[in-house]
Structure 1
Amino acid sequence: MTAGIAPYDAAYFERYREMADTPMGRALNKARCDFVERHTKGAVVDIGIGAGAFIERRYGGRLQPTYGYDVNPAGVRWLKKYTLFLNPYECESVDAITCWDVLEHIPNFETLINRVKRFVFVSIPIFRDATHARRSKHFRPDEHCWYFTSYGLKGVFDTLGFDCVEENDTESRLGREDVMSFVFKRRAADERYHPEWTLSGTHYAVLQDMRRAAERR
């Protein structure tokens, strides 16, 4: 599929804010934070922030270093307001990224994945075959470039140098149709690597402030 021009604007941002402030929205963000925490407590860049709910919960509630990147001007303004905007395409590498309902929107996502040093967290609709995809509520040719089977998604990440280290249906069990979650870990991770090496001076200062605040508690 070739994506059209999706309406990434203030209305899109507000729609996601409304969805986040529901019982399902809160349960999803808790599950996503727990999911990430099982594998890393290091810096994470949330790609396609929606309205920032995941960042608010992980960064604000758990004092864990969490930044964001978005193409929606409303999302960019929100991130820059809190000094949380980080463009992974302008970094040599980033330690980990989260792609909640976003990988299917990115035409050339391998460029992004190639900049990740350790972990990629993904939630995405998963289909049995093309017929299943076409009949699904997730079939959106104006927004979604990609439609995956579990086997196909793992195969793509294998080609990019990542192993799938966890797969679960938590989001489906919370009520999301056909949505699965995955963690992919880079096979050739440099053991000497430290996530703070990729952060700018401003982001490093934010991380240090969070740590000092946590120590005072």
Structure 2
Amino acid sequence: MNLSNTKHFLNVKDYSVSQETFELLHDADLDMLITNPQPSLEKLPSYYESVNYISHTDGNKSMFEKMYQFVKSIALKNKLKLINSQSTKGRILDIGAGVGDFLAVAKNDGWETFGTEPSDKAKAIAIKKGVSFVNNLSQLENNSFDVITMWHVLEHVPDLENQISELKRLLKPTGTILIAVPNFNSFDANYYGKFWAAFDIPIHLWHFSKTAIKKLFAVQSLELVKVLPMKFDSFYVSLLSEKYKTGKMNYIKAFYIGLKSNWYGNKNSEYSSHIYVIKNAKNNFESEF
């Protein structure tokens, strides 16, 4: 990614692991933020070594973990409903499958499922749920998937352009890509600023807007056809942001900010996180974006 056309946006601290401070650079053409400097591929895994990295566990002890697991169960049903609305049951690839919950429910619903996951810890949990993994995307055939999903994963990928190119290669001509990422143009992002938990630097290398997603995928002749809100994310992110800002989870305050963020999202279509529905451009007769 070329940094020559970027400007300083904000300095943000890694509250989870290293306590180091990183710079966010703004690319005005894409309306995208870039973490700077980005950790080397050798050092990057060390920034994931937090006991609080809940997406790589099935933790269900603390109040926060119980809330997370409850919301996740609802989100899984919504994700399953979404993929079934986009395609007849076929082959689905989930990149960054974590502990495998999404692929497990998709498999139980009749999908032929495949996943990738760099964390051995998360993968071991997923395998116990019957999830099948591939070691490398390069071993998969061209045009072989009806649906490809990346649930809060694209922001973690070091080689962004290559990743989008691989999505294009693997997708069937009539297939669908579903990308979920945080939105730094949301109310909760603006409210919490440098304390906004969804910046999650440095493991979040990229920070997307609707404009960025549309332009980045258009390079591969992939068209953004629909943007959907992830309304639960504003509450989860606000809880963590309160902890970063004040040292404790202020549940009432976080709930209020989460509600307010969704209220503004309903007005300006800028929610805390979005799901982007993307298809091969030549197969779209009418764009909904």
Same fold (TM over 0.5): yes
Q: Residues 186, 156 of structure 1: CA spacing in aligned structure 2 closer, same or farther, 3 A cutoff?
A: same
| Larger Rg over CA atoms | 2
Match of residue 160 from structure 1: 220
Instruction: State whether residues 9 and 74 of structure 1, in contact with CA within 8 Å, keep that contact through their aligned partners in structure 2.
Output: no
Matched, 1:65 2:112: yes
**What is the CA distance between 1:9 and its match in structure 2?**
9.0
**Larger fraction in strand:** 2
Secondary structure, aligned partner of 2:114: strand
Q: Tell me the TM-score normalized by structure 1.
A: 0.73
Question: 5+ residue gaps in structure 1?
Answer: 190-217
Picking from 66, 82, 95, the partner of 1:47 is 95
Q: Residues 70, 11 of structure 1: CA spacing in aligned structure 2 closer, same or farther, 3 A cutoff?
A: farther
Counterpart mapping for 1:103-114 below 5 A: 103-114=154-165
Instruction: State whether residues 103 and 131 of structure 2, in contact with CA within 8 Å, keep that contact through their aligned partners in structure 1.
Output: no
Q: Residues 73, 139 of structure 1: CA spacing in aligned structure 2 closer, same or farther, 3 A cutoff?
A: same
Deviation track 1:52-75 (CA, whole Å, cap 9, x = no partner) reads 110111112x12112110101123
Instruction: State whether residues 156 and 204 of structure 2, in contact with CA within 8 Å, keep that contact through their aligned partners in structure 1.
Output: yes
Deviation track 1:138-159 (CA, whole Å, cap 9, x = no partner) reads 1122210001111111111111
Question: Mean alpha-carbon deviation: is it higher for 139-148 or for 88-97?
Answer: 88-97
Match of residue 121 from structure 1: 178
**What is the CA distance between 1:109 and its match in structure 2?**
3.0
RMSD: 3.0
- Whole-Å separation in 2 of the counterparts to 1:145 and 1:23: 28
- Whole-Å separation in 2 of the counterparts to 1:106 and 1:173: 20
- Whole-Å separation in 2 of the counterparts to 1:138 and 1:179: 9
Match of residue 23 from structure 1: 70
Match of residue 151 from structure 1: 211
Letter in 2 for 1:101: H
Deviation track 1:67-99 (CA, whole Å, cap 9, x = no partner) reads 110101123345556461123232233423210
Q: How many residue pairs align between the two structures?
A: 187
Instruction: State whether residues 56 and 122 of structure 2, in contact with CA within 8 Å, keep that contact through their aligned partners in structure 1.
Output: no
- Whole-Å separation in 2 of the counterparts to 1:128 and 1:14: 24
- Whole-Å separation in 2 of the counterparts to 1:140 and 1:99: 17
Q: Residues 161, 123 of structure 1: CA spacing in aligned structure 2 closer, same or farther, 3 A cutoff?
A: same
Letter in 2 for 1:85: F
**What is the CA distance between 1:7 and its match in structure 2?**
2.3
Matched-pair identity in %: 20
